[in-house]
Amino acid sequence: MTQRDRAPGLIVQFAKAPMVGQVKTRLYSALTPDDATALHCALVTHSHQMLKSLAKVQNVLAVAPLDHDFWRQEIFSSTPLWPQPAGDLGQRMFACFEHHLQGGINPWVIVIGSDCPALSPAYLADVVTALERGQQLVLGPANDGGYVLIAMTSPLPVFEGVDWGTEQVLAQTCAKAGALGITPYLLGPLADVDRPEDLAQLSQYAELSRWSRCASSTL
């Protein structure tokens, strides 16, 4: 394979279809299930609009389930869909890296979630710079102890045994990398939207600000 055959890199956005009772359930003390689901839709769309603004970088939506009507919207029409396989989050992310790095067609893959509105083109540019300078593993920490993105140049087995949904996710992933002799490159932390106290930050974003008013009653 020549350099000309290689893609410039790939960003994969993980997203669940908006099914009531299956998304943003940790927000139910502040939002009704329907409102939490509507916020989930808005966050997925916000993240995808940001990705579509990037130049010279491919993006893919890793979705579950694949056949949901939500993915038929115009905003997603030009984006390839990749069905998330069965398994926990770590198993699904590892499968994603294996699939999209196979054969060397992509020199690197960045996986992001859909619940961090602070994720920006400038932040992603820092990830790309780190990868192109030889970093094997890049992580974007979240304020709650998880991470908002993970990037690799080859599939690394750093997910097994991680306690997903806890404040130990970042530390455990870094420990797994350390056991492989790899020191992850860590960017600055960002805030995602998982808990009622996270809603206040949404006042910064016009299309998300209506949900920020729900934070005051939980603080």
170-184 pLDDT, tens per residue?
A: 999 999 999 999 999
Domains in the chain: boundaries:
3-213
Residue 56's pLDDT is 79
List, for residues 89-100, the tens digit of each pLDDT value: 999 999 999 999
List, for residues 145-164, the tens digit of each pLDDT value: 999 999 999 999 999 999 99
Given a cut of 60, is residue 139 above it in pLDDT?
A: yes
Predicted confidence band of residue 105 (pLDDT cuts 50, 70, 90):
confident
Q: Are 117 and 202 in contact (CB under 8 A)?
A: yes
CA distances from 81 to 36, 43, 148, 189 (A): 24, 18, 20, 28
In percent, the amount of the chain with pLDDT more than 70 equals 95
State the CB neighbour count (10 A cutoff) for residue 125: 12
In percent, the amount of the chain with pLDDT more than 90 equals 88
Given a cut of 50, is residue 47 above it in pLDDT?
A: yes
Given a cut of 90, is residue 213 above it in pLDDT?
A: no
List, for residues 8-26, the tens digit of each pLDDT value: 899 999 999 999 999 999 9
Domain 3-213 adopts which CATH fold?
Answer: Spore Coat Polysaccharide Biosynthesis Protein SpsA; Chain A (3.90.550)
What residues pair up with 158 in beta bridges, in sequence order?
none
Give the Cα separation of 93 and 147 in Å (integer). 13
- Using alpha carbons, select from 155, 192, 153 the residue that is nearest to residue 170: 192
Predicted confidence band of residue 215 (pLDDT cuts 50, 70, 90):
low
Give burial (CB, 10 Å; 0-12/13-18/19+) of 114: buried
Residue 7's pLDDT is 63
Q: Are 50 and 119 in contact (CB under 8 A)?
A: yes
Give the Cα separation of 191 and 193 in Å (integer). 7
Residue 109's pLDDT is 97
Residue 6's pLDDT is 53
